[in-house]
Amino acid sequence: MKFRKKILCIGAGYVGGPSMAMIAYKCSDYRITVVDTNPDRIDAWNSAELPVYEPGLDLIIKKTRGKNLFFTKDIENQIKENDIIFVSVNTPTKTYGAGADMAADLQYWEKTARQILKYSRSSKIVIEKSTLPVKTALAMGKILSSGKGKIKFEVLSNPEFMAEGTAMGDLENPDRVLIGSHETKSGLTARAELIEIYARWIPLKKIITSNIWSSELSKLVANAFLAQRVSSINSISALCEKTDADISEVSRAVGTDSRIGDKFLNAGIGFGGSCFKKDILNLVYLCSYYGLPEVAAYWESVVKINEYQQERFIANILKSMFNTLAGKKICVLGFAFKADTGDTRESPAINITRKLLAEQAQIIISDPRALKNAALDLSDIKGSIKYVEDPYQAAAGCHALLILTGWDLYRGLDFKKIYRSMVKPAFLFDGRNIIDHNKCFTIGFNVYPIGKPALSHL
Ligand code: NAD
Ligand code: UGA
């Protein structure tokens, strides 16, 4: 079959895989190829067990893979063959040298740019899909224009706003698609080419354009604002616990103001995921780099409150359980950083579990999707850890239950049955405020929600 457009995506991760699957699904006359330096990832994308769990993804992969969506390891030839290249490689926080623990590590991006330059035999549009510091396109442009030939590269910014667990819905029906370009003739032509792809299924009024720097910066700012809301409500949850106010009631009262809105106001054990922390730290670094220490300090406080919230949760467990956890069995319900994903990157459960193990507790971890990743995250640590998929088996014989991920399945658990199987007094710490606390208290649990009075029989 002759395809109308040939598109390449470099980076077959949580963003590259699902976002390209959606383009392939919506544009059956385009050929989409996804490459990665990690051969296991490519093998997994070509297998029955996809490397990413995302509701609805398997169906779309079934409809497109081998027809107009291809996963391959041959980066060199794919760069040669395709004229539109999305780059969605990872951009983690730098762990070494200048800007360590703050700045974005751009080594994967730069390697990709150099590969594109090396293997290209014709002009190309290179699209930043990864989240990058503002002004990255400048460096990209310089690397890409350092070749001797006549080949031209036009860099666009097209940050991705999907969230894990809801990625397919977010990609199919996004609030907006953002495209930043240089405001030159070639920049605007490239922009029009990218708009043509999204316009296949997204109304034009939702495709917004800007200059390239605004686009790069907007992605960091959007994540910072979302994380800021979580930290804001979590900071107030601490005050609620001191004053007998109820954080759910406060959230509702505040969130019904249409100027504020009701989303991202659920208090809990803090935000996790691969991006919020790294993107805010990147923003903090940029502010410091540009000589804005007050602005840097403002955004850094969002991360500090997130850490404080986890420390408060751990301290509360220790204090409520008579200041000793040594030898006690604690069941962790949920290890993923949020529901509907198997991703555990920066999950609060990692830090909380590590701290409980340091108190010599015995940990039993249950999660419907994230046990493999949990075992990898904790592989370096000594201590008693078991991984049990069935939540009833995991809880049996435990002194305490900790709900760390808001999986829907936990709402429907038979807590009477669980209570009967536990050591008494039985403790329940709901780090996501998702279960019926009064009901569990009546069953016999000592219940500790976030931002609400504890319900204790002791
Ligand atoms: P990921 O780690 O899951 O995937 C990145 C992939 O890129 C990896 O498989 C890695 O092997 C590959 N890679 C690295 N260097 C390469 C190279 N030179 N050539 C080919 N492949 C290479 O990361 P992710 O979660 O998909 O995130 C990618 C980017 O998208 C990041 O910048 C992130 O901030 C951003 N983002 C992520 C999400 C999300 O929900 N995960 C959402 C929006 C934006
Ligand atoms: C987030 C953004 O929502 C996406 O728009 C963005 O594209 C993505 O980051 C990214 O750049 O990687 P994601 O991290 O997948 O998406 O998931 P979120 O739904 O934003 O949740 C992040 C964390 O905040 C989770 O740990 C979640 O449990 C927590 N959270 C969220 C709360 O504690 N309370 C809330 O009210 C909402």
Question: How many Å lie between the centroid of ligand 2 and the Cα of residue 92?
Answer: 16
CA distance 401 to 59: 35
End-to-end CA, the chain: 72
Q: Is the C-beta atom of 108 inside 6 A of ligand 1?
A: yes
Question: How many Å lie between the centroid of ligand 1 and the Cα of residue 92?
Answer: 9
Ligand nearest to the CA of 337: 2
Whether pTM > 0.75 for this model: the answer is yes
Tell me the residue type at 68.
N
Confidence of residue 151 (pLDDT cuts 50, 70, 90): very high
Closest CA to 279 of 303, 301, 298: 303
The more confidently predicted of residues 260 and 149 is 260
What residues does 153 pair with on adjacent strands? 124
CA distance 91 to 105: 6
Q: Is the model's pLDDT at 453 over the cut of 80?
A: yes
Q: Is the model's pLDDT at 433 over the cut of 80?
A: yes
**Ligand 2 pocket: which of 132, 275, 347, 450 to mutate (most atoms within 8 A of CB):** 275
Residues involved in catalysis = 275
**Closest CA to ligand 2's atom 14:** 273
Q: Is the C-beta atom of 14 inside 6 A of ligand 1?
A: yes
Q: Is the model's pLDDT at 148 over the cut of 80?
A: no
Residue in the structure block whose two tokens are 């601490």: 238
Question: What secondary structure letter does DSSP report for 93?
Answer: B
CA distance 366 to 274: 21
Cβ–Cβ < 8 Å for 371, 334: no
Give the rounded percent of residues in the chain with a pLDDT score beyond 90. 98
Atom in ligand 1 nearest the alpha carbon of residue 15: 26
3-state secondary structure of 53: coil
Atom in ligand 2 nearest the alpha carbon of residue 339: 28
Q: Is the C-beta atom of 15 inside 6 A of ligand 1?
A: yes
Confidence of residue 10 (pLDDT cuts 50, 70, 90): very high
Ligand nearest to the CA of 339: 2
Ligand nearest to the CA of 174: 2
Q: Rounded mean pLDDT of 402-428? A: 98
Question: How many Å lie between the centroid of ligand 1 and the Cα of residue 40?
Answer: 15
Residues belonging to the chain: 458
Q: Is the model's pLDDT at 360 over the cut of 90?
A: yes
CA distance 91 to 102: 12
Q: Rounded mean pLDDT of 112-132? A: 96
* Residue-wise pLDDT tens digits, 337-356: 999 999 999 999 999 999 99
**Closest CA to ligand 1's atom 32:** 130
Question: How many Å lie between the centroid of ligand 1 and the Cα of residue 73?
Answer: 16
Q: Sign of dihedral through CA atoms 349, 354, 360, 364?
A: positive
pLDDT, residue 147, reads: 81
Ligand nearest to the CA of 14: 1
CA distance 352 to 375: 15
Q: Which residues line ligand 2 (CB under 6 A)?
A: 131, 160-164, 223, 226, 230, 264-266, 268, 271-273, 275-276, 337-338
**Closest CA to ligand 2's atom 28:** 338
On average, the pLDDT of the chain sits at: 97
**Which tokens go with 394?**
């995991």
Helix axes 348-358, 293-320, angle to 10 degrees: 50
* Residue-wise pLDDT tens digits, 262-312: 999 999 999 999 999 999 999 999 999 999 999 999 999 999 999 999 999
Q: Is the model's pLDDT at 192 over the cut of 90?
A: yes
Confidence of residue 1 (pLDDT cuts 50, 70, 90): confident
Atom in ligand 1 nearest the alpha carbon of residue 130: 32
* Residue-wise pLDDT tens digits, 25-44: 999 999 999 999 999 999 99
